[in-house]
């Protein structure tokens, strides 16, 4: 097995691990979106902890993608290879902020319940601030870092034909749609994780799934010299 084939399979596997964000969302969203979320968290701490675990898996996988892609991409464009690795590392690091926020809500919730769940208390203010910070980090800052890094390696993929151009073009189009949805969330036109935002991000999610399978089965195309 060549080193590029091994790298392609590892990168494909990492893209699949990146989908760990789906169970993280499914576990946390019903709890955090509930009107009485501070009460519900105290009885759902295990579910929230599992959500943090899955998000941790996603964070490590996403950061690792840029690292593993770097030696392949740098043969075609060292600057973009370095940029892609850097922004995906930034993305992975940013994921830790909402993870810390979700874990911080657990003791806050328990204290709120112990206080008798008062209708007007500092617990609600702190909880609202933590949730807003988590939403903005996930849906604006993380997505921005991902979009910059992904656009770099998809451009190199397209130019060097490391994967079929229809697949890299699909990736570039999906990134553009995600950038648009992230801006709409930032300017409060869309709610974080609203149905419309999920729908807009669906094309890139499908593309990454297809690309992950492609890399694991077909690997990277090989050329004697990079295309300019």
Angle between helix axes 3-17 and 195-217 (nearest 10 degrees) is 160
Mean pLDDT over residues 97-126, rounded? 93
Render pLDDT for 159-171 as a digit per residue (tens, 0 to 9): 999 999 999 999 9
**Which residues does 24 contact at the CB level (< 8 Å), separation at least 6?**
51, 52, 53, 54, 55, 58
Residues recorded for the chain: 228
When divided into structural domains, the chain yields a total of 1
Residue 100 lies in a domain: yes
Residue 223 lies in a domain: no
Q: Residue 26 is encoded by which pair of tokens?
A: 């499914």
Cα separation, 82 vs 67, in Å, equals 9
Answer yes or no: are the C-beta atoms of 158 and 86 closer than 8 Å: no
Residue 226 lies in a domain: no
Q: Which domain holds residue 158?
A: 3-217
Residue 228 lies in a domain: no
pLDDT at site 1: 61
Across the chain, mean pLDDT equals 93
Cα separation, 196 vs 227, in Å, equals 38
116-124 contacts at long range (C-beta below 8 A, 24 or more positions apart): 117/38, 117/39, 123/38, 124/38
Residue 219, exposed/middle/buried by CB under 10 A (0-12, 13-18, 19+)?
buried
Decide: pTM greater than 0.75: yes
Residue 222 lies in a domain: no
Q: Residue 159 is encoded by which pair of tokens?
A: 């130019």
Residue 224 lies in a domain: no
Cα separation, 141 vs 136, in Å, equals 7
Asked if the model's pLDDT at residue 193 lies above 90, the reply is no
Answer yes or no: are the C-beta atoms of 107 and 173 closer than 8 Å: no
Q: Residue 24 is encoded by which pair of tokens?
A: 């993280």
Asked if the model's pLDDT at residue 228 lies above 80, the reply is no
Cα separation, 184 vs 114, in Å, equals 38
Cα separation, 14 vs 74, in Å, equals 19
Residue 38 lies in a domain: yes
pLDDT at site 183: 87
Cα separation, 184 vs 97, in Å, equals 21
pLDDT at site 2: 82
Render pLDDT for 54-88 as a digit per residue (tens, 0 to 9): 999 999 999 999 999 999 999 999 999 999 999 99
């Amino acid at each position: 097995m060549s080193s590029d084939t091994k790298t392609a399979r590892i990168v494909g596997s990492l893209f699949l691990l990146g989908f760990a964000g789906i169970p993280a969302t499914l576990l946390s969203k019903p709890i955090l979106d509930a009107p009485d979320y501070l009460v519900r968290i105290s009885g759902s701490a295990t579910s929230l902890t599992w959500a943090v675990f899955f998000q941790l898996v996603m964070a490590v996988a996403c950061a690792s993608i840029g690292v593993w892609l770097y030696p392949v991409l740098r043969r075609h464009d060292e600057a973009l290879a370095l940029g892609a690795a850097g922004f995906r590392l930034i993305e992975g690091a940013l994921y830790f902020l909402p993870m810390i926020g979700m874990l911080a809500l657990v003791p806050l919730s328990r204290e709120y319940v112990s206080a008798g769940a008062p209708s007007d208390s500092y617990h609600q203010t702190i909880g609202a601030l933590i949730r807003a910070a988590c939403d903005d980090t996930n849906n604006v800052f993380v997505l921005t870092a991902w979009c910059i890094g992904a656009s770099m390696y998809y451009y190199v993929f397209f130019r060097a034909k490391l994967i079929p151009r229809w697949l890299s073009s699909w990736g570039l189009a999906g990134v553009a749609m995600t950038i648009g949805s992230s801006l709409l969330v930032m300017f409060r036109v869309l709610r974080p994780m609203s149905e419309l935002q999920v729908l807009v991000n669906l094309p890139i999610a499908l593309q990454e799934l297809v690309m992950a399978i492609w890399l694991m089965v077909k690997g990277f195309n090989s050329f004697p010299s990079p295309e300019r």
